[in-house]
Chains A and B, each alone.
Chain A
Amino acid sequence: MKKLIGIALSVLLFGCSDSVSNSRGVYLLLDTSGTYTKELDKAQQIINYLLGTLDPGDSLVVARIDSGSFSEKDIIAKATFDSRPSVANAQKRAFAGKVDQFMKSIKGSAYTDISGGLLQAVEFMNEAGVGKKYALIFSDLKEELPEGFVRDFDLTLDGFSVIALNVTKLRSDNVNPQEYLSRLEDWKVKVRQGGGEWRVINDLDREDILNIS
């Protein structure tokens, strides 16, 4: 009933106004470094959850984090779902197929360029003009760059929600947990300084806590 009244009022108030973009954009970065590839089954679970949750008009991109991630070539699958639900469902099926294929043929990378991947996500999402922007990082957040790669730039993350998923503890973290905590803190500071919102979710059994709405 409230919804009906709200709609009636919005028709009266904004009847002549332009339509506003309320669509959501989700950019999921998958860490494909050697040690982390074992965790990618869980990533597929997240992707499937997102495919089931996103509405027509929303965008979803899945890209990998490898040695140099600031590149369109790292995008595994991307789609802006059609406004018609039936077409959007077909797109989601195709998307799931592509991701499935990727998961079967995955090769581990030597380095982990998370910053490059995040920058690529920011560029892509700003260009797509989506309303609500989410960057999901499925990684242990341990950045390892090839020699000569520079990633000491400031990210501009206004309007972004950056969510770190399944941040696994490395062997060295077990020796010195402060390393793990510092890693998380560094990323938190980096994202917040860029104007974004930072969250960490490690319990992937409850996908709904992603709270992408």
Chain B
Amino acid sequence: MKINDFVTIIPGQPTLSLILLILLLMVGLYMGRNTVHSVINIVMRIVYASLRFAARSLGLTEQKLRARNKEVLLELGKEQVERQLEREFFRVNAVVEKDLGGYPALQRVIADQIARIEEDYKESGQMAPPPPDWVKAVEAVGRLHLETKGNGVAVEVLKNIHETSIKQQKQALEEYRSSMSTRHKLLQTTLPYWRKLTNTVDEVGESMKALTERARDIDHKMSRYEEIRGGTEKAERTLRASSITQFFVSLFVVAIAAGGAVINFNLIALPMSEMVGAASRIGAYKISDIAALVIIFVEISMGLYLMEALRFTKLFPIIGAMNDRLRHRMIWITFAILFTLACMESSLAFMRDQIAADLSALRLSLSQANGVAAAPSVNSWIPMVGQMIMGFVLPFALTFVAIPLESLVHGARTLFGDVLVWLIRMLAFTLRLLGNIFRHLGTLLTQVYDMFIFVPLWLEGILRERPRKAQQPASQAVQTVDSKTDFWVEEVAK
């Protein structure tokens, strides 16, 4: 049966057939209107509800993840500040032990110095002037001079008295000068004591100043610590910014270390072929290359353990929790292994130079056989020594990669946590958006459906209007929009 046959219901009347078919279709669609509307509404509601449920679940996951991220961030920050505080207290302890620990002795020294100064000061005190008896003697002699005027004996006596007085005055003046000089000398001797005392007090002052500064630092860190403990927004923001900065800085340093590892690899790969052979391969790579890489990995691992045992990093809690004796042993063992590997690398670098020189000599002899002129050779001991030094230094340099690696790991946790939260948020938003699109799509589809059956609907409207005009209608079906779901709902208005 062709489409044309199907369309031509009335033979020879295609237009009429088409109109009849459309009318039949309209009637059919009109009759199934309520069912189709319900189906569209239900399907769209299911899709909408599912998407909304998924979005809500993702929202909850996002909240949980954000809370977890915050928890981790604050915990990391707390640990960091605790470490800083611990170091500050350690420093304060060192200051107290070094400076304040010697304070009793210092106090004794100061007390001795003060006692000496006091003694000297007392000794340098001015002598009390002799009692003024000579005034009475002068008065008596004056009276004698008036009473015995012109008496030769008296004149002689007075002359003698005068001479004696002058002599006495000179003697008293000399004694006074001598005593003054002695006092000055005594005061001179107190000068070093004063200086010493000033220096000692200054030293104490400096120590106290440093201690005050440390105390201020500790106060600052303690307030930060309390903020972190309180989980404030400010603390979280600060820690997040700091963590991301640390991540990128660590990434940069780790990239530099990776460059060092590459150089190290090239330094030892060729001589390793002399030890393990260059012919065997695993996959596409020579065993000697793999052996060189393993050595570098061992060096990095030893570096991690060493840094951990020295408590510079906290990547392996089990090492940090070891007792001090065991930890010290571990420090020495890892250092010994590193030192051995460094020596081995240095000798491998030497061997590399030998192999390279041999290969170069072979190629030179082969090229000379071909009639190619040999290039003048450069002094080869400088690169050889350079290679040996590099071979020795690089393993130790790689040791320190543990520090930025720890920061990188911590920073990456924060960064990837944030990225994950952002992705979940975006996904939830997309699902919500899709849900809303489907919700309105349901409404749109029902309207589009009604568009195809506008004629019966129009007729229905007229038929409904007529009895309403004749008498107030008992009830009327009205299509309204549900405020909760935004779906078209048919209500019966009374």
Contacts and interface: CB of A to CB of B under 8 A. Distances in A.
Do these two chains interact?
yes
Interface of A: 1, 3-4, 6-8, 10-11, 13-15, 17, 19-23, 44-45, 48-49, 51-52, 55-57, 82-86, 89, 92-93, 96, 100
Interface in B320-338: none
A14 B362 CA distance: 35
B358 A22 contact: no
Interface of B: 258, 261-262, 265, 270, 273-274, 277-285, 287, 289-290, 293-294, 354-355, 358-359, 362-363, 365-367, 369-370
A11 B265 contact: no
Most buried by A among B277, B278, B293, B363: B278
A96 B278 CA distance: 22
A51 B355 contact: no
Nearest to B363: A52
A89 B359 CA distance: 7
A89 B298 CA distance: 31
Contacts of A82: 279
B270 A7 contact: no
A21 to B, nearest CB: 8
B282 A22 contact: no
Q: DSSP class of B's interface residues: helix, strand, loop or mixed?
A: helix
A84 B278 contact: yes
Contacts of A44: 369-370
Closest A-B pairs by Cβ, 5 of them: A57-B279, A83-B277, A10-B283, A83-B279, A48-B366
A118 B280 CA distance: 28
Contacts of A93: 362, 365
B274 A23 contact: no
Given A1-B262, A7-B290, A56-B273, A85 B355 contact: yes
A15 B369 contact: no
29 contacts: A4-B265, A7-B289, A7-B290, A10-B282, A10-B290, A11-B293, A11-B294, A13-B283, A21-B281, A22-B281, A44-B369, A48-B370, A52-B362, A55-B279, A56-B278, A57-B280, A83-B273, A83-B277, A83-B280, A84-B273, A84-B274, A85-B359, A86-B354, A86-B355, A89-B359, A92-B366, A93-B362, A96-B365, A96-B366
A87 to B, nearest CB: 9
B283 A14 contact: yes
Given A8-B293, A93-B365, A19 B278 contact: no
Contacts of B366: 48-49, 51-52, 92, 96
Given A4-B265, A85-B278, 9 more contacts: A10-B282, A11-B282, A44-B370, A56-B279, A57-B277, A83-B278, A83-B280, A85-B270, A100-B369
Nearest to A22: B281
Nearest to B258: A1
A86 B356 CA distance: 10
B369 A4 contact: no
Contact of B358 (A20, A57, A86): A86
B362 A7 contact: no
Nearest to B371: A45
Nearest to A1: B262
Contacts of A85: 270, 273-274, 278, 355, 358-359
Contacts of B367: 48, 52
A19 B280 contact: yes
Contact of B285 (A6, A23, A49, A89): A6
A86 B262 contact: no
A92 B270 CA distance: 18
A7 B279 contact: no
A130 B278 CA distance: 15
Contacts of A15: 282
B293 A7 contact: yes
Given A19-B280, A55-B278, A56-B279, A89 B362 contact: yes
